[in-house]
Amino acid sequence: MDNPLLQDFNTPFNTAPFSKIKEVHFKPAIIKAIEEARKEIDQIVENKEEPTFKNTLEVLDFSGQKLDRITSIFFNLNSAETNEEIQKIAQEVSPLLTEFSNDITLNKDLFNRISTVFKQKDSLDLSSEQKMLLEKRYKSFVRNGANLNEEDQNKLRDINKKLAKLTLKFGENVLAESNDFSLHITKKEDLSGLPEGVIEAAKMLAKQKKEEGWIFTLDYPSYIPFMTYADKRKLRKKMAKAFGARAFRNNNFDNQEIVLKIVQLRHQRAHLLGYKTHAHFVLEERMAETPEKVTGFLNELLEKAKPAALKDFNAVTKLAQKDEIKTLEKWDGAYYSEKLKKERFDLDDEKLKPYFKLENVINGVFTVANKLYDLNFEEIFNIDKYHDDVKTFKVTNQNGEFIAVFYADFFPRKGKRNGAWMTSFKDQWKKDGENSRPHISIVCNFTKPTETKPSLLTFNEVTTLFHEFGHALHGMLANTTYPSLSGTHVYWDFVELPSQVLENWCYEEEALKLFGRHYKTDEMIPMELVKKIKDSSNFLEGMATLRQLSFGLLDMAWHDNDPSGIKNVKAFEVKAFGDTQLYPDVAENCMSTAFSHIFQGGYSAGYYSYKWAEVLDADAFEAFKEQGIFDKETATKFKENILSRGGTEKPMKLYKNFRGKEPSVDALLKRAGLV
Q: Point out the residues that are catalytic.
A: 468
Instruction: Evaluate the CA torsion angle 228, 422, 560, 617 in order and state its sign.
Output: negative
Q: Quick one: residue 184, left, alpha or beta (phi over 0 = left, psi -120 to 50 = alpha)?
A: beta
Query: Which of the 8 DSSP states describes residue 419?
Result: S
User: Which value, to the nearest 10 degrees, does the dihedral of the CA atoms of residues 186, 188, 189, 192 take?
Assistant: 110
DSSP-H helix ranges across 561-662: 569-576, 596-599, 609-627, 632-638, 651-659
Quickly count: other Cβ atoms within 10 Å of residue 22's Cβ: 12
Q: Hey, which bits of 186-304 come out as E strands?
A: 214-217
Cα separation, 272 vs 434, whole angstroms? 42
What is the enclosing helix (H) or strand (E) of 658? helix 651-659
Phi, psi dihedral angles at 33 (to 5 degrees): -70, -35
Nearest residue to 170 (alpha-carbon basis) of 87, 288, 50, 77: 87
Nearest residue to 665 (alpha-carbon basis) of 310, 309, 299, 308: 299
Cα separation, 48 vs 56, whole angstroms? 11
Q: Which residues of 404-433 are buried (b: 16+ CB within 10 A; e: fewer)?
A: bbbbbbbbbeebbbbebebbbbbbbbeeee
Cα separation, 675 vs 665, whole angstroms? 11
Indicate the residue type of 428.
Q
Q: Contact 623/657 with Cβ under 8 angstroms?
A: no
- Using alpha carbons, list the distances in angstroms from residue 344 to 38, 459, 620: 63, 17, 30
Cα separation, 4 vs 66, whole angstroms? 12
Q: Contact 458/353 with Cβ under 8 angstroms?
A: yes
